[in-house]
Amino acid sequence: MKKITLTFFIAVLACFAMNAQVEVYFEGFETEDLSEWTLHDVDGDGFNWGDMFQVTDGSGNAVSPVSLISRSWQGGPLTPDNWAITPAIDLTGASGSAELTWKVMAAAADWDNENYSVYVATSNEIADLLVSDVTFTETYDDPTNQGTQYERTLDLSSLMGEVVYVAFRHHDVTDMDWISIDDVKVTAEEILSVDDNEFLGFNYFVNNNTLNLSSNDAMQNISIYNIIGKEVVMKMLNNNQETIDISALQPGIYITKVSIDGVSKTFKIHKN
C-alpha cells in the first residue's frame, strides 16, 4: 500500500478543520501498558499507580474496570503521593475549545473517600504541574455508596496551541482502599475554514469497529493511514452514506482522507 510523506502528515495534523470535537488523545488502559507515561512514587513507599490494573473481591470477581489504579491501603494503611503523567498531547494544530475528560471510581461504602488531583501544564515536571492554573481536585465520595464510576471534565481551552501533559496525583489520604482512573480523553474543537466549503454536510464518527461517513454528495474514495504514514485501508466509494469496517486495525490514532467531487478532506480517527 501507499505511504503519505512526512511533510503531508505534519501538514494534516496542523490543519484539521471539521467544526466538531475531535479526539486528540485517548487512553483506556486495556493493554495495561504505561511505558509512555511518567510515574513518580513521591512518598517512597514502593506502591504506585499501575501496580495493579483491576481490583477483585475475595472470590476473584472484578469490582473495578481495567484502569489506572492507586492504593491507600495494601495489607495496612498507606499514605500515597503517587503521580501518573501522560505522554505529550499535541494541541498545536487545534483551535477553539479543548476539554479533558476521565472516569473516576473508588471502593464502595466506608472506604471511598480517596483524594486526588489533576494538573495540566506545558511541562511534565512536578514543580511546573503544581503551579499550573489548569487543575482539578476532589475527594471522591459516592453518594450511592456503591463504588460507582463517574465522568469528570476539565476545560483546557487556555492551553490551545500548546503541547501539554496531564498528571493524575493520588495524595492527602490514608487508610481508605483504592482509586481508579479510566478513559482519559482530550478533545478539541476545530474550526471549519473557508477552503472547506466543499465539505459542508460531511460528518463522521467511529462506533466500535465501524467508521461511519455521511455527506451531501456521493463520496468517491477513502484512505486510512497509520501514524508512520502507511496506508492501511483504501476503498472506492459511491454513496453519500458509507460504513467502513476498521476491525482489523490496531488500537490507535489514524489519519483518514475522503474524496468528494475531486476534493479531499483529511481528519483523525481513534480506534479503540
Residue 160 has pLDDT above 70, yes or no: yes
Indicate whether 55 and 85 sit together in one domain: yes
Indicate whether 165 and 200 sit together in one domain: no
* Predicted confidence (pLDDT) per residue in 191-226, tens digit: 334 345 556 678 888 887 899 998 888 999 999 988
Q: Pick from 190, 213, 231: which residue ends a domain?
A: 190
* Predicted confidence (pLDDT) per residue in 233-271, tens digit: 999 999 999 999 999 999 888 888 898 887 778 788 888
Which grid cell sits at 106?
473508588
- Close Cβ partners of 135 (under 8 Å, ≥ 6 residues apart): 117, 118, 119, 120, 154
When the pLDDT of each residue in the chain is averaged and rounded to a whole number, the result is: 86
Indicate whether 210 and 221 sit together in one domain: yes
The pLDDT value recorded for residue 95 is: 62
For the domain that residue 46 is a member of, what is the CATH number?
2.60.120.200
Indicate whether 39 and 129 sit together in one domain: yes
Indicate whether 156 and 74 sit together in one domain: yes
Task: Determine the Cα–Cα distance for residues 142 and 262; give it in Å rounded to an integer.
Answer: 54
Torsion, CA 244, CA 249, CA 253, CA 255, rounded to 10: -50
The pLDDT value recorded for residue 20 is: 54
Query: What DSSP state is assigned to residue 146?
Result: S
Q: 3-state DSSP call for residue 199?
A: helix
The pLDDT value recorded for residue 194 is: 37
For the domain that residue 210 is a member of, what is the CATH number?
2.60.40.3080
Asked if residue 142 is part of any domain, the answer here is yes
**End-to-end Cα distance, the chain:** 23
Q: How confident is the model at residue 16 (pLDDT cuts 50, 70, 90)?
A: very low
Indicate whether 108 and 31 sit together in one domain: yes
Q: 3-state DSSP call for residue 35?
A: coil
Q: How confident is the model at residue 190 (pLDDT cuts 50, 70, 90)?
A: low
Indicate whether 75 and 180 sit together in one domain: yes
Compute the half-sphere exposure of residue 136: CA atoms within 13 Å on the CB side of its CA.
17
Q: Pick from 155, 190, 225: which residue ends a domain?
A: 190
Residue 90 has pLDDT above 90, yes or no: no
Which grid cell sits at 270?
481513534
Q: Pick from 170, 190, 210: which residue ends a domain?
A: 190
Task: List the domain range (segments joined by +) for residue 13.
Answer: 6-19+192-271
Better pLDDT: 140 or 90: 140
Q: Number of folded domains in the chain?
A: 2
Residues 27 and 86: beta-carbon distance below 8 Å = yes
The pLDDT value recorded for residue 17 is: 40
Average pLDDT estimate for 82-104: 87
Which grid cell sits at 105?
471510581
Residue 36 has pLDDT above 80, yes or no: yes
Q: Which of 116-120, 130-134, 239-243 has the lowest mean pLDDT?
A: 239-243
Amino acid at 50: G
Task: Determine the Cα–Cα distance for residues 87 and 127; give it in Å rounded to an integer.
Answer: 17
C-alpha torsion sign, points 196, 202, 207, 211: negative
Asked if residue 134 is part of any domain, the answer here is yes
pTM as predicted: 0.66
Asked if residue 1 is part of any domain, the answer here is no
Q: How confident is the model at residue 76 (pLDDT cuts 50, 70, 90)?
A: very high
Residues 106 and 144: beta-carbon distance below 8 Å = no
Phi/psi at 199 (nearest 5 deg)? -105, 15
Average pLDDT estimate for 71-94: 91
Indicate whether 13 and 40 sit together in one domain: no
Indicate whether 103 and 237 sit together in one domain: no
